[in-house]
Amino acid sequence: MAESHAKVQKVGGGRLCCICNERRAALKRPKTLEQICRECFFAVFEEEIHQVIVENQLFNPGERIAIGASGGKDSTVLAYVLSELNRRHDYRLDLFLLSVDEGITGYRDDSLETVKRNEIQYGLPLKIVSYKDLYGWTMDEIVKIIGLKNNCTFCGVFRRQALDRGASLLKVDKLVTGHNADDIAETVLLNILRGDIARLSRCTAITTGEDGPIPRCKPFKYTYEKEIVMYAYFKRLDYFSTECIYSPNAYRGFAREFIKDLERIRPRAILDIIKSGENFRIATSTKMPEQGTCERCGYISSQKWCKACVLLEGLNRGLPKLGIGRTRVLDKDQKKDLKQSIGTKSIASKQCGSLDF
């Protein structure tokens, strides 16, 4: 009996895959700690994502889907896997790659070259929208004025709106992003630390913006970042691995390191944090922001002006810190400037423009 058990567990000096019991194990899954072969890893990785798509009814046959493509590991694996699953399971989706050029020399220009190669490799049409065309500014120009402390605020706000604008130009039904389980767990912690109840109540949703112009889906909601890296490595996918040169001190980075420390101690910690976020209940007495539209550009906003317009107005008026933080930190002159700007219907500087939804 002992000899038979040993034969099942090991072959040629190595441990057998715990799934197929035939091939030699090539890796240990970070999520489950199972030792499995490459072929079984590919199969379970793809099948888990397929089940997430089916169980959450993310897509309907015939829909046009834009894949947010940065050239990084997450979006590259998402584009590859979604293309494969679309063919294998006959989702009948029209897939497109959508990229945002923030205007970061030595980073985004290089990563976009990767996306252009992915366009050919996966046979998916590519659309690129740029900050310069949409807002009149590049991130290089913004960083020169604002510095490295608050630049991620500008980039995050502008990028979100730029993706929606690009999706609108492509006339897609939904936008999918490569946000993985680690990203979502980080967001749960960040919203708790910031006391952001509004975002905390929706940050774990696999589909958001269903009441808006273009819903967003996260097929990688339960997929670990380490497994995405392993999949890309073993599949030899073409992706860009350099981190953004302007984000070494980003607040999210500290939450990311904390999550990684937790994962080393207890791999399920990531899924448990997501589960906790899903089960949070906001008190009925909590006042939530009411969704409306920006008076200036027509984008979704709970204020008269959306965050992008406020930030852009600050840049154009030489007051780059105008939209940073809460309005109570603005001095009297800045408050007066913002109030006058909101009341001005014709502004000579480049506006966000109107979203054609």
Contact present, 247 and 152 (Cβ < 8 Å): yes
**Is 69 annotated among the ligand-binding residues?**
yes
DSSP structural state of residue 16: B
**Is 70 annotated among the ligand-binding residues?**
yes
Q: What is the dihedral of CA 60, 65, 69, 73, to 10 degrees?
A: 20
105, two tokens: 């020399």
Q: What is the dihedral of CA 201, 70, 33, 12, to 10 degrees?
A: 170
Question: Max alpha carbon distance in the chain (Å)?
Answer: 85
Contact present, 73 and 239 (Cβ < 8 Å): yes
Please name the amino acid found at residue 255.
A
**Is 74 annotated among the ligand-binding residues?**
yes
**Is 167 annotated among the ligand-binding residues?**
no
Contact present, 277 and 192 (Cβ < 8 Å): no
Contact present, 169 and 59 (Cβ < 8 Å): no
Angle at Cα 83 formed by Cα 78 and Cα 88, nearest 5°?
125
Q: What is the DSSP secondary-structure string of 196-222?
A: -HHHHTTTT-SEE-TTSSS-EE-TTTT
**Is 183 annotated among the ligand-binding residues?**
yes
For CA atoms 307, 309, 312, 316, the dihedral sign is: negative
Please name the amino acid found at residue 119.
E
* Binding-site annotation, residues: 68-70, 74, 100, 178, 183
* Binding-site annotation, residues for ATP: 68-70, 74, 100, 178, 183
